[in-house]
A and B are shown apart, each in its own frame.
Chain A
């Protein structure tokens, strides 16, 4: 099973700042096999990024994804108040797995 490790566990930033969230895989992944989600309290997750770097429908361009192999990054260029949430990466290899999540909180 491919394990995804996200860091940091919690990230404290202010609106307007730039956020960089990391997702590291225990084995090399195809870039097409990595997605990112946002989850707010009491809500279902929302797809942000698929294929490591492609934004899903309706996702603002301040969200971007990058990376390859075992190291992937979700970047939010200028944090808006509504961006403070928990973020998960997910891989679609032989069996699907999620990272443990990064909580992005207001500083």
Chain B
């Protein structure tokens, strides 16, 4: 069974750093892109970026470029999303999702359970 298991909820202060994780199991982790998606309280889904765990090639949404860093360690089947200096506006649920190719079509076919990040002084 394909599973993505994310790290637990975090409460941080503005200016602090943070790294959250997403561990894949039940499939060949290096073979599928991992995406990160933000959902602010009561709002919709926003695509942050993606990483190819096989070679660590990364693509960011222009809206998030420079604000977060995506990385992965294929040896332990884990992807990461990190911030160097959090802001209150980073408060959100963050999902990781596996990207699956169906021929020329694409979909996020497996999702983590989400990590709630709360940034408050």
Contact = CB atoms under 8 A, between A and B. Distances in A.
B107 A35 contact: yes
B108 A95 contact: no
A50 B97 CA distance: 15
Most buried by A among B104, B105, B106: B105
B80 interface: no
B112 to A, nearest CB: 7
Nearest to A53: B105
B23 to A, nearest CB: 15
A98 B113 contact: no
A45 B47 contact: no
Contact of A45 (B59, B62, B95): B95
Contacts of B46: 98
Contact of A50 (B62, B105, B114): B105
B44 interface: yes
B102 A54 contact: yes
Most buried by B among A33, A57, A88, A98: A98
Nearest to B48: A96
B35 interface: yes
B61 A95 contact: yes
A44 B95 contact: yes
Interface string B88-113: 00000001010000111111110111
24 contacts: A32-B104, A35-B106, A44-B97, A44-B112, A44-B113, A45-B97, A45-B111, A47-B107, A47-B108, A50-B107, A54-B102, A56-B107, A86-B44, A88-B45, A90-B47, A95-B61, A95-B62, A96-B35, A96-B47, A96-B50, A97-B61, A98-B46, A100-B44, A101-B45
